[in-house]
Amino acid sequence: MDAISVIRAKRDGHPLSDGQIDWVVDAYTRGDVADEQMSALAMAILLNGMSRAEIARWTAAMIASGERMDFSPLSRPTADKHSTGGVGDKITLPLAPLVAACGAAVPQLSGRGLGHTGGTLDKLESIAGWRASLSTPEMLGILESGGAVICAAGESLAPADKKLYALRDVTGTVESIPLIASSIMSKKIAEGTGSLVLDVKVGSGAFMKNLEDARELAATMVGLGTDHGVRTVALLTDMSTPLGLTAGNALEVRESLHVLAGGGPKDVVDLTLALAREMLDAAGLPDADPAKALADGSAMDHWRRMISAQGGDPDAPLPLAREQHMIPAPASGTLTRLDAYAVGVAAWRLGAGRARKEDPVQAGAGIELHAKPGEEITEGQPLLTLHTDTPERFDYALAALTDAYDIGALTTAPPPVILDRIA
């Protein structure tokens, strides 16, 4: 086969054969298909789409480019969660130990933030001593003894996806639903989990801006999981407003600890419990009660065990930014809108995120929210507090927040956290 024939087939709207997909993914991984050729193919896929059979085969080819993990030696059933990313989305932090406290094993392979969305590994690295890189034997040992691990994926897991994702990021083809779905699911299926719950974000701070596109992506991913023998469910959740009251690495860890201690913002608690129930049901543990595990402290015990097992000190103080800037409410009334994307960009500009993968992040940087849409506020009261080690960033962050919120009379209720479920 040759790359030009494969590109022409998809350019002209024809379905790719199993043989064409297997060959082009393997050849690109080995370097026999050039970046410019794969860029052309990715653009053809973006414009002309793929059938369910094509997406399933493309996903299988990316899985086959590397190793597959095996959790069958574990005495617990495995369940995993994947979020498509958002602002203030710290759900993985309380969720993994909570589900472990209820009897499942949670092998959570996570990533770092890029742009306005935060990364789970960046958040956890604000804890002194914690490490993201684990060997497979270490991971299995922690899962067997404590039930939860959050770590970075190894280089051997779906290497085709790593290479293609970097290419899509610089060629304007990130938006392709077949390529998004196969990217996420190739890693999750190769990870070897027995069941998977997807948190597909919808709104200004999410990748999918409207419910129709989010449903299409969720249904595609649920279909891929099912086709590969992984019990998969998706929740569509709101990301028009940041989750919780913080956006930033150490700030979000601190808020997650409040949730594990039985408190925390209602939207974070509600979504954590909803995802936990879905994970436990998918893992064959429908009678487990995650709300009880939060209330009785067992989820916190599993958090401390997980952090310690990965070298972290659960009692170490979390970093604080050296400088703060408070934004007061400009008027009295109801906060009717607080835009997630604007808050995410401002947190990124304060140092909480990165523009390139190699950029450092500030552990203490980010934004505190003192009110959420639907709440009454008074002129002059704190609305947002900005945190950074480098105060010269304040003006740049404030510019992102210029049109980020509205205060007035509430005409419609804020959307619920959970918008839909696809199984």
183 is catalytic: yes
**Bridge-based pairing state of the strands 323-328 and 382-388:** antiparallel
Give the residue among 41, 81, 80 at the shortest CA–CA distance from 179.
Answer: 41
> What is the token pair recorded at 349?
């500009």
Do 120 and 139 contact (CB within 8 A), yes or no? Answer: no
Backbone angles phi, psi at 38, to 5 degrees: -65, -30
Active-site residue (options: 57, 116, 123, 168) = 168
256 is catalytic: no
DSSP string computed for 213-235 = HHHHHHHHHHHHHHHTT-EEEEE
Give the residue among 159, 205, 157, 191 at the shortest CA–CA distance from 81.
Answer: 191
Do 120 and 53 contact (CB within 8 A), yes or no? Answer: no
Active-site residue (options: 161, 238, 267, 339) = 161
82 is catalytic: yes
Q: What is the DSSP letter of 114?
A: B
Active-site residue (options: 10, 116, 163, 187) = 187
CB atoms within 10 A of CB 199: 25
Active-site residue (options: 82, 188, 201, 305) = 82
Active-site residue (options: 183, 186, 240, 256) = 183
> What is the token pair recorded at 263?
């408190």
What are the residue numbers of the active site? 82, 161, 168, 183, 187
